[in-house]
């Protein structure tokens, strides 16, 4: 069952713009995070596995891109995705060097920059706006997770919703599309809170969204709480129900970069269903096929994809 029949996926969006398949190639550029290096705190967010990117070997950007091209053998064009940790957390000269190293390949058509809402200085936004002016596809990916400050404090996020609202407004002022990351099933959160978070993000204006379930991973502080029975991540059916409702409440022009997530053993501790790459996606697609596609609870439902 094709998800992009029911969701405006990033794959669907990129095919419409470039006329062919475009893949995102994840990169590790040796950034850290102010919530790990002592600037804001140490240990990071409670759900974060601080060793989650350690197997990426700190290889040069060009070498990482070459490895990604081999894995993405069905594409001829790519987005360079600075995924690991906080990819705007450096002097702008360093950012420019790294980003332009990634853009040096003729088959690289843009950048996706993953970062925190409180680590987006104007100089970094000006740099990204310059790449858009040169015709590149550019996405600023902001890890929000929840719009509720008590939840953000509970998971040791190190910022509140106001930081997200500020970064989003400054990005929009420069014409930079924002993709917001949200987690379903955070400790203390109900499905209603996930829907309220979505509504608050949509109210501020957003071009893209990433959804994924809370996962308990080795090396995170939540792992100890899970072993004590204090935290339970959502099961596949519960997650699919909440994600489906969120997608149906999202206008069709918003691009979904992700609707679920996976991890592998031994990193993944729970839920077990997240080890299967397509289980969550297929559950969501089945529900959307029955209930209605993205935007079907709004005045802007998704049209079927072009042949």
| Structure letter (DSSP) for residue 78 | E
pLDDT tens sequence for the chain (307 residues): 689 999 999 999 999 999 999 999 999 888 777 766 666 656 667 777 755 444 445 689 999 999 999 988 789 999 999 988 788 888 999 999 999 999 999 999 999 999 999 999 999 999 999 999 999 999 999 999 999 999 999 998 889 999 999 999 999 999 999 999 999 999 999 999 999 999 999 999 999 999 999 999 988 889 999 999 999 999 999 999 999 999 999 999 999 999 999 988 888 999 999 998 888 999 999 999 999 999 999 999 998 766 5
Beta-strand runs (E) in the chain? 22-27, 77-82, 108-115, 137-145, 178-184, 208-213, 216-217, 255-258, 268-270
Closest to 29 in 3D by CA, of 82, 66, 81: 82
pLDDT for residue 54: 43
pLDDT for residue 210: 98
Q: How far apart are CA 196 and CA 185, in angstroms?
A: 13
- Neighbour-count burial for 30-69, b at 16+ CB within 10 Å, e otherwise: ebebbbbeeebeeebbbbbbbebbeebeeeebeebbeebb
Q: How far apart are CA 235 and CA 214, in angstroms?
A: 10
Distance of CA 59 to CAs 33, 74, 136, Å? 19, 23, 24
| Structure letter (DSSP) for residue 9 | B
């Amino acid at each position: 069952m094709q998800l992009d029949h029911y969701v405006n996926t990033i794959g669907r969006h990129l095919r419409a713009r470039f006329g062919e398949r475009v893949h995102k190639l994840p990169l590790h550029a040796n950034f850290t995070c102010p919530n790990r290096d002592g600037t804001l705190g140490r240990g990071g967010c409670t759900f974060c596995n601080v060793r989650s990117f350690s197997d990426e070997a700190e290889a040069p950007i060009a070498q990482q891109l070459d490895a990604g091209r081999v894995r993405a053998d069905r594409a001829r064009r790519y987005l360079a995705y600075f995924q690991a940790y906080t990819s705007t957390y450096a002097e702008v000269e360093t950012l420019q060097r790294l980003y332009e190293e990634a853009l040096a390949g003729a088959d690289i058509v843009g950048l996706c920059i993953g970062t925190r809402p409180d680590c987006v200085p104007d100089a970094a936004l000006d740099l990204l706006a310059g790449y858009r002016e040169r015709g590149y596809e550019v996405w600023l990916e902001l890890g929000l997770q929840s719009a509720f400050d008590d939840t953000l404090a509970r998971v040791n996020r190190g910022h509140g919703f106001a930081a997200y609202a500020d970064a989003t407004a400054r990005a929009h002022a420069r014409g930079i599309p924002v993709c917001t990351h949200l987690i379903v099933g955070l400790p203390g959160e109900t499905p209603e809170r996930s829907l309220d978070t979505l509504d608050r993000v949509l109210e501020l204006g957003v071009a893209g969204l990433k959804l994924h379930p809370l996962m308990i991973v080795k090396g995170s502080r939540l792992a100890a709480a899970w072993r004590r029975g204090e935290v339970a991540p959502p099961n596949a059916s519960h997650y699919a129900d909440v994600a489906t409702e969120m997608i149906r409440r999202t206008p069709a022009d918003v691009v979904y970069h992700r609707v679920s997530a996976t991890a592998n053993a031994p990193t993944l501790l729970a839920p077990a269903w997240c080890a299967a790459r397509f289980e969550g996606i297929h559950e969501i697609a089945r529900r959307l096929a029955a209930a209605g596609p993205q935007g079907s609870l709004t005045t802007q439902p998704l049209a079927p994809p072009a042949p």
